[in-house]
Structure 1
């Protein structure tokens, strides 16, 4: 039955006094009076306003051509509304990118531009989506806002059904916050920024653009626009160094730009020196009592579940640039670490860049290490370090046995339970090369000397097939020093023998002879050591030098 008609379908003159609940005129049946029926608005309702709520980008911004091209592609007008998600680690510039895109594409949306910073609607237990809808309905000119969520959703969809509308939601942390505010008209776009991956929105057809740190050229351009007095352009080498120390993170770049702005006589190189020390680098981004980089990372970290926070701190102590799932399980002593890794990746604090291989952004790594140093005891951190170094040593030993077989004489005694096949062992050595080097250095600095020389002994198989001469010389020198400090003459002879072989292969026969002489002085009657030294002396003679 349509309001304003009689029950028998005959249209008769009906008048209503707007100040009362009475009607006058001839009525031949029942009458329904309604101004707004919640959830079923009158068919003649149209938006009373065309909102434009999207703010301007309030700080220096450089366009990201590759990212904006991808965003243009997935938001192209079509027969249904589109959900696009901009995600990335904290401070990577998601909001600025979204605001810039919205402003540049404003003329596509005749129904208006709606914007909500969900932080303003975030309460204990989550975001009040009903509040977001209420603000949107008011902006669209709705005379009355339904009191319940279903009513607000229905009215919102009605008011956005006539013309394409952009909804920009900044700071989303759950898919449900998006589904309630999808406009009903074709060509509409819901543009979402989130520190989370929001994989659940894939079932709604959402497409994702993951923003990464700025490349060096764009990072330098951001610095130049934020410090327009020519200092950045006058010293491009220092500008590149500054971008590298900020790891391309826009919020860090804006922070150092603010520091340069308040010190107009500082050259860029001065700030490069100030940020050079990893231990204090995050402190260098504080400006006027504010610490924007650390605050963003802290907020994301503190929202994690407890097991993921622990994994974050433990993995922050990892010495190398990346790691695998098995190392994460060993370092955390948690066979179920997969859940924590997923939580860290979902929060964009960790990146899975290959199957079961993970890495931190440089500044996030420093933050994770800092949280470990503040929250965990020295004994707990030392235990993590021992587990980590031991895992790499055992892996190197297993790979060494797989490549060179059990017949090779070794000082360290280790019979691996399972051996990889030879190609897998060689691939493991190469994949973990940087980590092995970092682990040896860390173990030496922490006086884990038995782990150092044992790892270096096992790396011989990798050298024979991958070389990396300078790296292995450095590590073997650490191994020799650790063998001496561990008071293990056999290990010292073995490492000096390997070091002499490295020098022979590089053509440095003088240094090779020095290592052989020192090994001979240390061997103290070890028969096997004598055989090794004789073998290497033969190599020296073959090269034209007396043994």
Structure 2
């Protein structure tokens, strides 16, 4: 006869009592057992193993424990064994969660608890499955002389012996699914697996995968309070929050910090906060000599990586920003890095941020940075950082070309390459979305470039962000980028770059209502251009200076500067800039009540900008021309002008200018006696002003007042 490998007889169902696993057997078979009692061998009573380690205090894992229990209940209803795999970063509390869950099940699983440390991070390598299952069999009272030698036979015997038992099994620190499978019991037992690696391979075995993230701040504070247990957390709540935030919610880090404080009862929490604030020494501070050590825990995960995955891990430690896409990894490795990123993610050293983007846990980032400094030469570090920086600069420049082809892009400089870019297609809104989504990284690159030895990148990347800043009004970043870009240009002695940072940065200052500061920047650029003998550059500053005077309420001075710019710019060969000067002239004339002049200048600007192919500014001119017509009660041409402008501006995701056009359309609807349409336009305009951070602007307040008037009329 041939034994049933899983302890089940296909004809009679589950085998209860002793089972023999064998190949072909010749002769008689005699199996004896005492009635009402299971016996392991030769009449000996089976032992009941209770091997689980003791519980560790757990905080804020209610949802995770509930998910595990729901999986157990579902498996029980379906008559299946329960298998769950808990994965996460080293020190995140995987074993604590598994133990908490399994200990609560002891009353329902009276046949014992088995535990094995599978040693995925052991210096001697992972535990061999045949050795582990051998230990399990001995715990179940199988004598050494009855122990099979081959792994397959040991695993089959283990399943047979557990087929009618109700056990819980914890397989701690597993390396692979292949290591786990021979250790799965039979019957309706429960098995929990913990691993630093995600284990999709166990899904085919009906496994429920549970990934643990670091603790939220409040839960981490609670863990610190439990660890200290002396009232210091309650006495210093702000310092406690600062401490656990520096530990990035990693339970191991919080416990280590708490243990170090507990050993010094008179020390303030502030002292530990100061020790952890310095990034370079933070991992060393999160250590207890001869015991728990955050850096050592991360070292174990790092040592399990393939050479290429380890190198990417190190190089990504150089990345300046908070998260990154796959093209950044490609730039670092100079090859497609999808499989290597997957390996780092499976090892829980990268967090999946969605849409093929990743980020480091804060302490993991510090570890990766330390590794790259230890294991890569200064030349390799500089080259890898430059490739990542060039990726951002080249892709931002491509986005600039798509969104604003009329912008006078200055020369870009790249390293030895290769230069990896993200494919943005040809869609202007998509290009703007990329710039916006990557803005934290782009700003980080701008601030990192000059100290890293790439000062030109700082001003060039600030310049490439012009279309985003102009359309989506990120004023704080606008100011910061151009301030850093100006310092870099000054360090290089590049007067052309200095003037670009002064003029583009000055426009941002106007948006921040720092009009005097903007005027100073424009005047400085004018002096620089004049000293350099650059009449075109000087003429362009006339337009900018006029904008500053206009915002300061000096309309006559503004009009004079715009008139000069409108005459000098075409003479210097820049008709488009001359058209912009006429657009500004029209705006001033409209504010002064010079309606015919406003109409003439707006018409001229509209024609020039359309001819130049500047769709964005032509739409702005169309909106202004529509306002001039409205002021003169010339309603017939207004709707077509404003509707065309609206379509163009919506397509460019230029929300602020779209809001201004909607406001003019609302006024047209009022004139035509269409109150519902007017209210809709006003409301959308107000929403858009808010979306670009201009909810408190004069324009937004004007729209809000109009909406309030309509509401009062409706009530009357």
User: Is TM > 0.5 for Structure 1 vs Structure 2?
Assistant: yes
Distance in 2 between the 1:427 and 1:120 partners? 42
When residues 140 and 121 of structure 1 are mapped into structure 2, their CA distance, relative to the original with a 3 A threshold, is farther
Q: In the alignment, does 2:476 pair up with 1:470? A: yes
Native 8 Å contact 2:526 2:538 kept in 1? yes
Q: Which has the higher contact order (CA 8 A, sep 6+)?
A: 1
For 2:117, the equivalent position in structure 1 comes to 117
Distance in 1 between the 2:490 and 2:248 partners? 39
**How many Å apart are 1:60 and its aligned residue?**
4.1
**How many Å apart are 1:33 and its aligned residue?**
6.2
**How many Å apart are 1:433 and its aligned residue?**
0.9
For 1:408, the equivalent position in structure 2 comes to 407
Distance in 2 between the 1:46 and 1:80 partners? 30
Q: In the alignment, does 2:350 pair up with 1:342? A: no
Equivalent in 59, 63, 67 of residue 64 of structure 2: 67
Native 8 Å contact 2:171 2:192 kept in 1? yes
Task: Provide the aligned C-alpha RMSD in A.
Answer: 2.5
Distance in 1 between the 2:412 and 2:267 partners? 57
When residues 374 and 53 of structure 1 are mapped into structure 2, their CA distance, relative to the original with a 3 A threshold, is same
Equivalent in 430, 436, 439 of residue 430 of structure 1: 436
Q: Map Cα deviations across residues 128-167 of structure 1 (whole Å, 9 max, x no partner).
A: 1111111111112223322222221222112111132211
**How many Å apart are 1:477 and its aligned residue?**
0.5
Distance in 2 between the 1:46 and 1:422 partners? 79
**How many Å apart are 1:353 and its aligned residue?**
2.2
Distance in 1 between the 2:285 and 2:412 partners? 47
Equivalent in 456, 468, 479 of residue 485 of structure 2: 479
When residues 413 and 211 of structure 1 are mapped into structure 2, their CA distance, relative to the original with a 3 A threshold, is closer
Native 8 Å contact 2:41 2:142 kept in 1? no
For 2:543, the equivalent position in structure 1 comes to 535
Instruction: Give the length in aligned residue pairs.
Output: 512
Distance in 1 between the 2:27 and 2:254 partners? 67
**How many Å apart are 1:208 and its aligned residue?**
0.4
Distance in 1 between the 2:254 and 2:53 partners? 22
When residues 414 and 381 of structure 1 are mapped into structure 2, their CA distance, relative to the original with a 3 A threshold, is closer
Native 8 Å contact 2:489 2:498 kept in 1? yes
Native 8 Å contact 2:519 2:549 kept in 1? no
For 2:28, the equivalent position in structure 1 comes to 32
Bigger radius of gyration among the two: 2
For 2:210, the equivalent position in structure 1 comes to 209
**How many Å apart are 1:124 and its aligned residue?**
5.5
What's the secondary structure of 2:183's corresponding residue?
coil
**How many Å apart are 1:42 and its aligned residue?**
9.3
**How many Å apart are 1:336 and its aligned residue?**
2.7
Native 8 Å contact 1:216 1:243 kept in 2? yes
Distance in 1 between the 2:454 and 2:40 partners? 77
For 1:253, the equivalent position in structure 2 comes to 254
Unaligned ranges ≥5, structure 2: 3-25, 33-38, 415-420, 559-716
When residues 418 and 97 of structure 1 are mapped into structure 2, their CA distance, relative to the original with a 3 A threshold, is closer
Q: Map Cα deviations across residues 168-220 of structure 1 (whole Å, 9 max, x no partner).
A: 1001111122211222212x211000000011111111110100000011101
What's the secondary structure of 1:90's corresponding residue?
coil
Structure 1 segment 447-458 matched on structure 2, within 5 A:
447-458=453-464
For 2:159, the equivalent position in structure 1 comes to 157
**How many Å apart are 1:484 and its aligned residue?**
1.6
Distance in 2 between the 1:445 and 1:81 partners? 58
What's the secondary structure of 1:281's corresponding residue?
helix
Deviates more, 1:392-401 or 1:527-536: 527-536
Distance in 1 between the 2:261 and 2:172 partners? 29
For 2:388, the equivalent position in structure 1 comes to 388
For 1:351, the equivalent position in structure 2 comes to 351
**How many Å apart are 1:511 and its aligned residue?**
0.6
What's the secondary structure of 1:193's corresponding residue?
strand
Native 8 Å contact 1:47 1:140 kept in 2? no
Q: In the alignment, does 2:314 pair up with 1:313? A: yes
What's the secondary structure of 1:317's corresponding residue?
coil
Native 8 Å contact 1:411 1:490 kept in 2? no
**How many Å apart are 1:393 and its aligned residue?**
0.9
Q: Map Cα deviations across residues 311-356 of structure 1 (whole Å, 9 max, x no partner).
A: 00100110111000011101222x2312211111111101222131
Distance in 1 between the 2:31 and 2:112 partners? 25
Q: Map Cα deviations across residues 425-484 of structure 1 (whole Å, 9 max, x no partner).
A: 111011101100101100022231111111010111111122221122011011011112
For 2:379, the equivalent position in structure 1 comes to 379
When residues 121 and 408 of structure 1 are mapped into structure 2, their CA distance, relative to the original with a 3 A threshold, is closer
Deviates more, 1:317-326 or 1:515-524: 515-524
For 1:108, the equivalent position in structure 2 comes to 108
- Hey, which of these two has a bigger chunk of helix by percent? 2
Distance in 1 between the 2:142 and 2:359 partners? 49
For 2:616, the equivalent position in structure 1 comes to none
For 2:267, the equivalent position in structure 1 comes to 266
Native 8 Å contact 2:121 2:301 kept in 1? no
Native 8 Å contact 1:396 1:455 kept in 2? yes
Q: In the alignment, does 2:448 pair up with 1:442? A: yes
For 1:85, the equivalent position in structure 2 comes to 85
Native 8 Å contact 1:171 1:192 kept in 2? yes
Native 8 Å contact 1:319 1:438 kept in 2? yes
Equivalent in 46, 49, 60 of residue 48 of structure 1: 46
Unaligned ranges ≥5, structure 1: 3-29
**How many Å apart are 1:277 and its aligned residue?**
1.2
State TM-score, norm by structure 2.
0.68
Structure 1 segment 175-214 matched on structure 2, within 5 A:
175-186=177-188, 188-214=189-215
Distance in 2 between the 1:373 and 1:291 partners? 24
Distance in 2 between the 1:284 and 1:120 partners? 26
For 2:527, the equivalent position in structure 1 comes to 521
Distance in 2 between the 1:81 and 1:413 partners? 62
Q: Map Cα deviations across residues 388-410 of structure 1 (whole Å, 9 max, x no partner).
A: 111111111111111112x2223
Equivalent in 480, 488, 494 of residue 488 of structure 1: 494
Distance in 2 between the 1:63 and 1:90 partners? 18
Native 8 Å contact 2:424 2:431 kept in 1? no
Distance in 2 between the 1:280 and 1:185 partners? 51
What's the secondary structure of 2:95's corresponding residue?
helix
Distance in 1 between the 2:350 and 2:43 partners? 48
